[in-house]
Amino acid sequence: MNKLGVKTAKVVGHSLGSLIALELAAQYPDRVDAIALVGTTAPMPVSDAILNAAEANDHAAFDMLTQWGFSKRHQFGGNRNSGMWMIGNTLRLYERSKPGVLFHDMAACNNYLDGLTKASDIRCPALMVLGAEDRLTPVRSTSGLQSALPHADICVLEGAGHTIMVEAPNAMLDALHRIL
């Protein structure tokens, strides 16, 4: 932000990015006007199966995250934007990552334990955009974060899993307009 001459910003983050947005808003309250946390929870534990596979650079980590990242409905396609192969696109993105990147991302999610404390320090408006069918950061796991954020606006998108921006892009944009 300093390098670009940006004095304040509204920050949106998905999954690990939501934890980064949370930390940024807590550390720099005068620089962050609002946050939108998409596909989030705190803490954000990652299963040993995913961590172990990611550490070993085993393709199974990509498969698990792709399988669990989409709602069951979207496992079979059905994107409203024609020509999108959600599962294949997601796998290809994971496969293009350098060895170790996914493990370090998953470990960062798993090891970030200050989320609720940081959330209670947030003073700017906060929006949580959650997928009703998210199996990686399920809505039921977000109650602590919802309570910790002083003025959280909660938007649960029906039919969406963790990959909200792919499964429900228009609904997510509509939700983001509430804060942006």
Q: How far is CA 17 from the centre of its chain?
A: 6
Task: Kindly indicate the confidence band of residue 73, based on its pLDDT and cuts at 50, 70 and 90.
Answer: confident
Q: Which of 44, 37, 35, 34 is nearest to 14 (CA)?
A: 37
- Whether 1 is in a domain gets the answer no
Whole-number Å distance between alpha carbons of 111 and 123? 24
- Whether 92 is in a domain gets the answer yes
Q: Which of 165, 159, 128, 166 is nearest to 42 (CA)?
A: 128
Total tally of structural domains belonging to the chain: 1
The percent of residues in the chain predicted with pLDDT above 90, rounded, is: 85
Provide the residue type at 157 as one letter.
Answer: L
Mean pLDDT computed over 98-104? 97
pLDDT of residue 120: 96
How many C-beta atoms lie closer than 10 Å to residue 37's C-beta?
31
- Whether 2 is in a domain gets the answer no
- Whether 153 is in a domain gets the answer yes
- Whether 95 is in a domain gets the answer yes
**CB of 129 within 8 A of CB of 64?**
no
pLDDT of residue 152: 93
Q: Write the pLDDT tens digit of every residue in 125-143.
A: 999 999 999 999 999 999 9
Task: Kindly indicate the confidence band of residue 21, based on its pLDDT and cuts at 50, 70 and 90.
Answer: very high
Whole-number Å distance between alpha carbons of 18 and 38? 6
Mean pLDDT computed over 105-118? 98
Q: In what order do the strands lie in the sheet with 152-157?
A: 9-14, 32-38, 126-131, 152-157
- Whether 3 is in a domain gets the answer no
Which residue's structure tokens are 């009703």?
132
- Structural domain span for residue 57: 9-176
- Whether 4 is in a domain gets the answer no
Beta-carbon contacts of residue 20 (< 8 Å; ≥ 6 apart): 13
Q: Write the pLDDT tens digit of every residue in 25-53.
A: 999 999 999 999 999 999 999 999 999 99
- Whether 144 is in a domain gets the answer yes
Q: CATH no. for residue 129?
A: 3.40.50.1820
Task: State pTM to two decimals.
Answer: 0.93
Q: For the chain, how many residues are written?
A: 180
CA dihedral 81, 65, 109, 95 (to 10 degrees): -80
Mean pLDDT computed over 76-105? 83
- Written as six digits, the tokens of 118 are 């940081």
pLDDT of residue 77: 62
